[in-house]
Amino acid sequence: MHPFHYCDVTVYGFHGCNVNVKNQILSGAVKFEKSANRYDWLGSGVYFWENDFLRALDWAEDMHGKFAAVIGARIKLGRCFDLSNSFAKNLLRFSYEDMLVEWREANMPPIKNKPHPKGKGNHQDFILRYLDKVIIENALVLADMQEPNIRYDTVRAPFQEGFPVYPGSAFREHDHIHLCVRNPDLLIDLFDPEELE
């Protein structure tokens, strides 16, 4: 049995954006654009907070101020590279070793994750995920080489982020499950979450 056999489920996700983008996407005038930043946490794709409207809104307000908005989506995970799964973490470890060889051969230092450039939030979060993006993208290439008939539709991972919720807590204020949708066909239903209140 494939290690991600049980990952083909449907979840709700929330995408933070500005109100103009929200209106254009929900009207069908435009489609989601895949994020392709060097610091993206889970590689290239469309990003959602799984089951967390408030976290998406918080992010949107930080980025867009009074023009903040959130789009809801029902998302079929399909073939999901799920980083809560041991198989995926083992593949990441192998991908990192593979990249270390490549960097050595090119006489380059390894790429590193970095904290927020303006010192926002917990500086230990390393929110600019330069290293993680390269390792995940390489892992997906390696997985494709092993099983050419399998393409991963989504990447999913739990993250700790922010400061402790209370003193001594292992829970942090911005802990979340992040989804990166690589195959937009799996966005099976878009909606305005504010209309459901």
- For the segment 33-58, what is each residue's pLDDT rounded down to a tens digit? 999 899 999 999 999 999 999 999 99
Bridge partner residues of 35 (DSSP): 45
Q: Let me know if residue 1 belongs to a domain.
A: no
Q: Let me know if residue 185 belongs to a domain.
A: yes
Q: Which residue has the higher pLDDT, 7 or 173?
A: 173
Total domains present in the chain: 1
Which pLDDT belongs to residue 185? 93
CA 160 to chain CA mean position, Å: 13
Q: Let me know if residue 49 belongs to a domain.
A: yes
Query: Cβ neighbours of residue 5 under 8 Å, at least 6 residues apart?
Result: none
Domain assignment of residue 108, given as a range: 7-196
C-alpha torsion angle, residues 30, 34, 40, 41 (rounded to 10): 100
**Distance in angstroms (rounded) separating the CA atoms of residues 77 and 187:** 9
- For the segment 134-146, what is each residue's pLDDT rounded down to a tens digit? 999 999 999 888 8
Q: Let me know if residue 75 belongs to a domain.
A: yes
Q: Let me know if residue 148 belongs to a domain.
A: yes
Q: Let me know if residue 2 belongs to a domain.
A: no
Q: Let me know if residue 112 belongs to a domain.
A: yes
Q: Let me know if residue 46 belongs to a domain.
A: yes
> What order do you get walking across the sheet with 176-181 strand by strand?
80-82, 154-159, 176-181, 46-50, 10-18, 68-76, 187-191
- For the segment 58-111, what is each residue's pLDDT rounded down to a tens digit? 999 999 999 999 999 999 999 999 999 888 999 999 999 999 999 999 999 999
Query: Cβ neighbours of residue 138 under 8 Å, at least 6 residues apart?
Result: 95, 98, 99
